[in-house]
Amino acid sequence: MKLKTIREAKKLKGARVLLRVDFNVPLKDGKVVDDSRIRASLPTIEFLRKAGAKIILLSHLGRPKGKIVDELRLDPVARKLGEILKCKIKKTDDCVGSEVEKIVEKLEEGDVLLLENTRFHPEEKENNSEFVKQLAKLGDLFVNDAFGVAHRAHASSFGIAEFLPAAAGFLLEKETSELARVFENPAKPLVLVLGGAKIDTKIGVLKKFSELANTILLGGGIANTFLAAEGFEVGESLREPDKADLAREILNLANSHGCEFVLPEDVVCVDSNEELSNQPKTFAFRADAIPPNMKILDIGETTARRFSEIIKKAGMVVWNGPVGLFEIKLFEAGTKAIAQACAETSATTILGGGDTIAALKKFKIPAKKFTHISTGGGAMLEFLEGQELPGIQILKN
């Protein structure tokens, strides 16, 4: 099924275009500290400006839980967007209502208006039909360019498409086409690198790739759960004891499909009684010799070297989630090694997840070193599970 894009849209000149973007960016002291997501939607915004559309931007920011939270207003985002586009960005104090409608009526061709945080309204997450209608009446065309929320059936990312002609922006188109490469005859060996703390959001990906991938490399808290399920002592490390049966099920599934499942063979630990803020002493142990008072916080040198060798020989690598507590220098080596291996390999490299992207920034590895860096964390994972994402499905012919 083909995804409709703004290339196919007619009569953009003078049209009011409701453009859903993902400007959920980090703020500090009232300023945007990482404008990557803003820049990711620039091709769509600039295309619409050039076409003479009146652009009305919709976005959420943070988790205000349906209430107005002044610290989560989009004013800093409007200022940053204005700096990037070198033009005045209009900004409203709400996303619906008569005052917003009056401002929309006065828009001229090429104007850009940013509406206030959609999640200040509980109806946003509920996809409330009356709220959707209030949003939809502001535009003539709906364009979704927010892959990061494409897995949510919210009012501003899904509901509007039921009331207005709808199309995908260039970012959403790029995300879906790049991630689809995983399923469309991927270069072999296909390697999945998975880290992070918990299994829950990654069960579907692990099961899917147990059938698709040649190799799965595990690190982080997820790996601890699998090590424990295999009977290894993991001390006081972060793990999910109630997921042991699930971990064994996934290991068996991978084995039945000939997928090599690689767990850490050595780890970096600290005494569980030590405060991490005090630069504690670190210990290196083999995975089968971890004392019960220890806490695993990174993969070890041997594991990092083995993971890197597998990545460099891959045809395609998909990576989501750090393999250690990379935010602290003592435990960054494993994640840094994987990032560098992904940057140096000739394989197709598809990366995603907020922590993964934060790690790349910390290690100053430029985005151009990778084939694709997804702007969506949860959306990327659900897409790779093979799920139909509501925000994408509704745009298809």
Question: Which pTM does this prediction carry?
Answer: 0.92
pLDDT of amino acid 4 = 87
49 is known as an active-site residue: no
37 has catalytic annotation: yes
pLDDT of residue 10: 82
395 falls within a domain: no
**125 located within any domain:** yes
Q: What is the pLDDT along the chain (397 residues), one digit of tens a residue?
A: 578 899 988 889 999 999 999 999 999 999 999 999 999 999 999 999 999 999 999 999 999 999 999 999 999 999 999 999 999 999 999 999 999 999 999 999 999 999 999 999 999 999 999 999 999 999 999 999 999 999 999 999 999 999 999 999 999 999 999 999 999 989 999 999 999 888 888 999 999 999 999 999 999 999 999 999 999 999 999 899 899 999 999 999 999 999 999 999 999 999 998 888 888 999 999 999 999 999 999 999 999 999 999 999 999 999 999 999 999 999 999 999 999 999 999 999 999 998 999 999 999 999 999 999 999 889 999 999 999 999 999 998 5
Catalytic residue among 79, 137, 181, 198: 198
Q: Are residues 229 and 343 in the same domain?
A: yes
pLDDT of residue 397: 55
Out of 52, 82, 204, 378, pick the active-site residue.
378
> Is residue 46 located within the same domain as residue 89?
yes
Please check whether residues 97 and 215 belong to one and the same domain.
no
The active-site residue out of 82, 110, 315, 354 is 354
Same domain, 247 and 307: yes
Residues 156 and 194 in one domain: no
* 253 and 153, same domain (yes or no): no
Identify the active-site residue in 16, 20, 37, 73. 37
Give the number of domains in the chain: 2
* Listed residues 152, 171, 190: the one ending a domain: 171
293 located within any domain: yes
Check whether residue 209 and residue 302 sit in a common domain. yes
The verdict on 167 and 183 lying in the same domain is no
pLDDT reported for residue 165: 95
pLDDT digits (tens, 9 = 90+) for 209-244: 999 999 999 999 999 999 999 999 999 998 998 999
**Which pLDDT score is estimated for 344?**
97
For residue 369, give the CATH number of its domain.
Answer: 3.40.50.1260
378 is catalytic: yes
Position 274 scores a pLDDT of 87
Claim to verify: residue 147 and residue 23 sit in the same structural domain: yes
HEC string for the chain = CCECEHHHCCCCCCCEEEEECCCCCCEECCEECCCHHHHHCHHHHHHHHHCCCEEEEECCCCCCCCCCCHHHCCHHHHHHHHHHHCCCCEECCCCCCHHHHHHHHCCCCCCEEECCCHHHCHHHHHCCHHHHHHHHCCCCEEEECCHHHCCCCCCCCCHHHHCCCEEECHHHHHHHHHHHCCCCCCCCCEEEEECCCCCHHHHHHHHHHHHHCCEEEECHHHHHHHHHHCCCCCCCCCCCHHHHHHHHHHHHHHHHCCCEEECCCEEEEEECCCCHHHCCCCEEEECCCCCCCEEEEEECHHHHHHHHHHHHCCCEEEEECCCCCCCCHHHCHHHHHHHHHHHHCCCEEEEECHHHHHHHHHCCCCHHHCCEECCCCHHHHHHHHCCCCHHHHCCEC
For residue 35, the enclosing domain spans 6-171
Q: What's residue 169's pLDDT? A: 97
